[in-house]
Amino acid sequence: MKVLCYSSFTFSYLNRARVLFQTLRRFHPDWELVALITDEPPKGFAFDPADEPFDRVVWARDLGIPSFESWLFKHDVVEVCTAVKGPFIHQACASGADVAIYLDPDTALLAPLDPLLAWLQDHDILLTPHLIDPNDDPTAIQDNDLSASRTGIFNLGFVAIRTTGEGARFAKWWNDRLLSYCYDDMPSGLFVDQRWCDHVPALFDRVKVIRDPGYNVASWNLSTRKVSVEKDGRVLVNGVPLRFWHFTKLGPLGDTMTKKYAGQNFPVYEIWSWYKRLVTTATEPAIPDRYWAYEAYEDGTKIAKPERVLYRQRQDLQAAFPNPFASGRGSFQEWLATEGL
């Protein structure tokens, strides 16, 4: 069975992606590992894919998205890195792979993912919910249950499909939705790619909701998952192998929420410390913090989120300014300066 596994990121997340792909390579050396990058290398950084722990790079600009500059401008960095996941997985269905797996760049494997392939013998779509056990504590309900209600029942830091049958049908549907409706707009019922997948069990057959606690462990489900380390070094969660951890919001916020729900479960802190060391080792000093090539107009002026939203909402502006990143006479930037928001 040919497996293609990919992650979507910018260069500011290259350090995390390197850790992900290193752990994937350790457990699954036969999988094809693909980096999907919506970015351009920063000046001063000599990016050579041959030196990286993935097999190849696919640049978002090469996915064949119509009017790419116009489409890209409508999104902030999080929105666009999730939006491109749909076109890629749809195109992967015609790539010769039998299975396509997506993992967020801030995840890392601690055990093999072989059970996924066994489940895909009988199912075409695999999803992991944020929660598999109910919370009883009011604070945990506020932090975790209600958060999942707002952002999506399933965490799309992971999805796996067979590239035929219902898996291929899902990939085409997700492609279409994310090309047009992948925004962080909760009042409109959108939270990037995730809220769409609330519909998946209703719209598609052969869907498996993974209720094994070893998958997609993260701060939002630590209230119901206990991590332990066996004498032989195996890491377990609720008594089963810990397959992969989602180190979301690495930094002060992630630390705060992890400490809040890990409590005295000390192996959690050991895992976070291990991951932080790997990320530090994988960090390139030449990549500026929070770098993204598409964060600014051509003259270097940062693009404000309301400017992207205005362009997204106005088809007349999209028609008038097919490359909204341009600066100078006749540009969208000039129009904003004269017309205002």
What was the pLDDT predicted at 339?
Answer: 81
Contacts of 289 (CB under 8 A, 6+ apart): 12
What does the alpha-carbon distance between residue 89 and residue 269 come to, in Å, rounded to a whole number?
34
pLDDT tens, residue by residue, 162-175: 999 999 999 999 99
Q: Nearest Cα to 278, choosing from 11, 14, 51, 8?
A: 14
How crowded is residue 2: how many other Cβ atoms within 10 Å of its Cβ? Answer: 13
| Span 3-282 CATH architecture | Alpha-Beta Complex (3.90)
Which has more confidence, 253 or 212?
Answer: 212
Which stretch of DSSP H or E encloses residue 109? strand 107-109
What was the pLDDT predicted at 16?
Answer: 97
pLDDT for 253 beyond 80: no
> What are the C-alpha distances in Å from 158 to residues 197, 225, 278?
12, 18, 21
The β-bridge relationship of strands 32-37 and 3-9 is parallel
- Structural domain boundaries of the chain? 3-282, 305-339
* Mean pLDDT to the nearest integer, 1-28: 97
H-helix segments, 14-59 = 14-27
pLDDT bracket for residue 265 (50, 70, 90): confident
pLDDT tens, residue by residue, 144-157: 889 888 999 999 99
What does the alpha-carbon distance between residue 178 and residue 184 come to, in Å, rounded to a whole number?
12
